[in-house]
Structure 1
Amino acid sequence: MKDFLELLQRGARKRISLAELRQHYFSLYPDVQNSPDRSARLLETLRQLETIGALSLPAVGSWEKIGVPPLPQWVLLKREPKAVPRKDFGNVAWAPELGFWPELRPGQLETLLPINEFLLRRRGSLMVVPIKERSLEIYGDEKRLDGMCTGDSLFGGRLHLNTLGCFRVPQPLPYRMADAPGKPVLVVENHNSFWSFGEWNQQARCYSAIVYGSGDAFRLTGRALQQVLGQVAGSGAEYLGDLDPKGVRIPGEFNRSAEVGSPQVSPALVFYQWLLAHGVRRHRAECVSFDAASLERWLGAELAAQVAKVWQSEHWIPQESLGFEQLSAGVL
């Protein structure tokens, strides 16, 4: 709180808008920015500053009409508030896993205290559980840890979720199984293609399962894909998306974000080649801006060069070009 007040006092104006309050607050406490209770925590801090005489809040008419909770549209800063006592965190008995605590700001240390109490209380008795279950135990709020996370870690990568005995549960991946154990699975980007490939594969049995990647959501589903592979006895995973920069970016980001030991996806080259030769080309000017290196890493030099020509002409190819009729006709 003291750091937040000092930041507000650096400005020349006494009246500070809500936009400025949010900007200053989240710059000091970035872990809070993605939290569902960020407005409540900002309001709590403002009320604490009002209590010590550091600022005054406006009348009800100058508050937001919506919001959970509503926030004041501005506050009036007072230049001579009462002194704000600063807690001495050096007197805290910190768990060894939190040896990075001197690197944190006071606001972050306040957030770290419940984690410290949890680690000291549960030492040597942690079962790995979903993050929301652990968050509820530590903070009394099932969403708090999720809002603090960057990837699978907290406090700028200093504390991994493994230390708290928890993990972020990926959204489950819908899949349609075929009687083809030992074959790879095929992940498709779009849900209409999921139906078409799933229906075709019941007879073709080229894949142990067809998996619905659900666009951008697929990037963070490594554990879910691993579960699918185990359930269908799959031998690896291929990916097919739209032939546009986004459709290439998604599997690349999936592979880069996968944990050690998690499955990677490889391009379903036979389908990409078919799309290049026969797919419907649609205009999209933004396609000319693409990462050539990422494209080549995904498709290989020869195929990437062909795709680059399509994109440079301001066109892309939807994966729906290869639909159920074409698959059923045995065009491949």
Structure 2
Amino acid sequence: MSEAFLHLLRGSSRKRVPLLDVKRAFFEAHPETLTSPSRHEHLLSALRGLESSCAVQLPAPGSWERVGNPPLPNWVQLVRSEPAQPSPDYSQVPWVPELGFWPDLKPSALEAAKAVNDFLLRRRKSLLMVPLKERSLEIFGDEKRLDTLKSGNTLFGGRLPLSALGAFQVPPPIPYRKADAPGMPVLVVENHNSYWSFGEWNQAAKRYSAVVYGCGEAFRSTGAALGQVLREVQAVGAEYLGDLDPKGMRIPHEFNGASAITDPKVRPAVDWYRWLLQHGRKREKPEFATVDKAHALAWLGDGLGEEVAAVWIVGLWIPQEGLGYEQLAAFDS
């Protein structure tokens, strides 16, 4: 009874077939049941048979009729079996030398490797360096695919550099406020209120070529972007000022450690740190009394670092906002 019924169900353009179409298909396949008082029982029995053979899926109880004798499902879902696809023979692929390691790849990586290979066969002699997502869209039709495949600046476990695809990771842009002071350093500040105050003051003071917003911990991954800022404002070197707390010491130190050899490094804005130690507003943070002073020493050196650690030992810290616009403006009055 079920084969003709299933054939008609599969003629539907929908994967989820509503009950009205299910009934129509059943009674077309078995018109003898149309006038039977037990026609719905026959229909349900046929559906149960198709379900047991994995041809359809019936919904959960909440998607059945609330009344009926017996109640029927409001819809059934067809299980369409896809024909098995033969596994590709990657040994027949004309692999480029850069992907000569392909036999070592897992099956899950071979499909991506072949897409990269096809791209290199088409474009290897005409590559410009472009942002990663642009190249990913060209190769895979998905701008995020290379992000999921890369590890650092490489693909396939370090075997293929992104540069082989003419691709590079674009660092997050850094907001900065330029002043007419080429040849001076830039100042990176941790917090955005300080960014405004130093940026406004520096328009007249011209102590820095630009004031840069470090955006807290996000600054750690912006080495290349900082280099671009230095070039655009014709700056020489970069200073950093953050809160006098463990995180504020750790961020610039870790930035320097994570930056590429060709990326700029930051040095402490020593004068501003000294001012904050002498005049800044101290706030309580009892847990800082047990913090390792190594972060302060690594960033500020033994002398200034010991002074900051002495503040922590008594459970205090100093926000950089203590050196605000009014204090900066007073230097020029």
**Normalised TM-score (structure 2):** 0.69
Over 3 Å counting, the alpha-carbon distance change for 1:281 and 1:59 in structure 2 is: farther
Deviation at 1:91, TM superposition (A): 4.2
SS for the counterpart of 1:136 is helix
Q: Could you list the runs of 5+ residues in structure 1 that have no partner in the other structure?
A: 1-52, 63-82
User: In the alignment, residue 113 of structure 1 is paired with which amino acid?
Assistant: K
SS at match of 1:300: helix
Closer/same/farther in 2, CA of residues 157 and 307 from structure 1, 3 Å limit: farther
Q: Does 1:153 align with 2:154?
A: yes
Q: Which amino acid aligns with 2:265?
A: Q
2:151 match: secondary structure: coil
Tell me by how many angstroms 1:287 deviates. Answer: 3.4
Is 1:223–2:206 an aligned residue pair?
Answer: no
How far off is 1:269 after superposition?
1.0
Q: Name the structure 2 match of 1:206.
A: 207
Label 1:301 to 1:324 Cα distance change in 2 as closer, same or farther (>3 A): same
Kindly tell me: are residues 195 and 161 of structure 1, through their superposed partners in 2, closer, same or farther at Cα, counting changes over 3 Å? same
Letter in 1 for 2:315: E
- The secondary structure found in structure 1 opposite 2:157 is coil
CA offsets 1:129-167 (integer angstroms, 9 cap, x no match): 111110100110112212333332233333222111111
From the superposition, tell whether residues 207 and 103 of structure 1 become closer, same or farther in structure 2 (CA, over 3 Å).
same
SS of the residue corresponding to residue 250 of structure 2 reads helix
Aligned to 2:23: none
Q: CA deviation at 1:88?
A: 5.0
Give the direction of change, closer, same or farther, for the CA distance of 1:100–1:231 in structure 2 (3 Å limit). Answer: same
Measured after TM superposition, the shift of residue 105 of structure 1 is: 2.1
Native 8 Å contact 2:183 2:234 kept in 1: yes
Name 1:304's counterpart in structure 2: 305
- Cα distance in 2, alignment partners of residues 290 and 149 from structure 1: 36
Alpha-carbon RMSD: 3.0
Cα distance in 2, alignment partners of residues 100 and 286 from structure 1: 52
The alignment status of 1:237 with 2:238, answered yes or no, reads yes
Instruction: Note the 1:206-285 alignment, pairs <5 A.
Output: 206-285=207-286
Q: State the partner residue of 1:174.
A: 175
CA distance in 2, matches of 1:157, 1:286: 41
SS of the equivalent of 2:108 reads helix
Describe the SS at the equivalent of 1:210.
strand
Which position in structure 1 is the counterpart of 2:122? Answer: 121
Kindly indicate whether structure 1 or structure 2 has the higher relative contact order, using CA contacts under 8 Å at least 6 residues apart.
Answer: 1
1:108-137 residue CA offsets vs partner (Å, 9 max, x unmatched): 222322112212221121100111110100
**In structure 2, do the counterparts of structure 1 residues 291 and 98 end up closer, same or farther at CA, with 3 Å as the change threshold?**
farther
Greater CA drift, 119-128 or 285-294 = 285-294
- Normalised by the size of structure 1, how large is the TM-score? 0.69
User: Could you tell me how far apart the structure 2 residues matched to 1:57 and 1:245 are?
Assistant: 58
Is 1:135 the counterpart of 2:136? The answer is yes
Shift of 1:249: 2.0
Q: Describe the SS at the equivalent of 2:260.
A: coil
Q: How does 1:285-296 map to 2 (within 5 A)?
A: 285-288=286-289, 290=291, 292-296=293-297
Write the letter of the residue equivalent to 1:162. S
In structure 2, give the amino acid aligned to 1:171: P
- Per mean C-alpha deviation after superposition, the further-off stretch among 182-191 and 242-251 is 242-251
Give the direction of change, closer, same or farther, for the CA distance of 1:61–1:127 in structure 2 (3 Å limit). farther
* SS of structure 1 residue aligned to 2:273: helix
Match of 1:72 in 2: none
State which structure, 1 or 2, has the greater radius of gyration over its C-alpha atoms.
Answer: 2
Rounded to whole Å, the distance in 1 between the matches of 2:93 and 2:150 is 24
Q: Following superposition of structure 1 onto structure 2, how do residues 79-98 of structure 1 map, counting pairs within 5 Å?
A: 89-98=90-99
Cα deviation for residue 209 of structure 1 reads: 0.8
Q: Tell me how far apart the structure 2 counterparts of residues 102 and 131 of structure 1 sit (CA, whole Å).
A: 26
SS in 2 for 1:230: helix
CA distance in 2, matches of 1:215, 1:284: 19
Give the whole-Å Cα distance in 2 for the aligned partners of 1:91 and 1:99.
13
Q: Secondary structure at the match of 2:272?
A: helix
List gaps (5 residues or longer) in structure 2: 1-52, 63-83
In structure 2, the residue corresponding to 1:183 is in which secondary structure?
coil
SS class of match (2:188): strand
Task: Pick closer, same or farther for the CA change 1:119–1:330 going to 2, 3 Å.
Answer: same
CA separation in 2, counterparts of 1:142 and 1:184?
37
Question: 1:165 and 1:226 mapped to 2: Cα distance?
Answer: 21
Q: Which amino acid aligns with 2:230?
A: L
Number of corresponding residues: 259
Cα distance change of structure 1 residues 238 and 329 upon mapping to structure 2, 3 Å threshold:
same
Distance 1:159 1:286 in 2: 46
Q: Secondary structure at the residue paired with 1:211?
A: strand
Aligned to 2:327: 326
Corresponding position: 1:104 with 2:111: no
C-alpha separation between the residues in 2 aligned to 1:167 and 1:125? 16
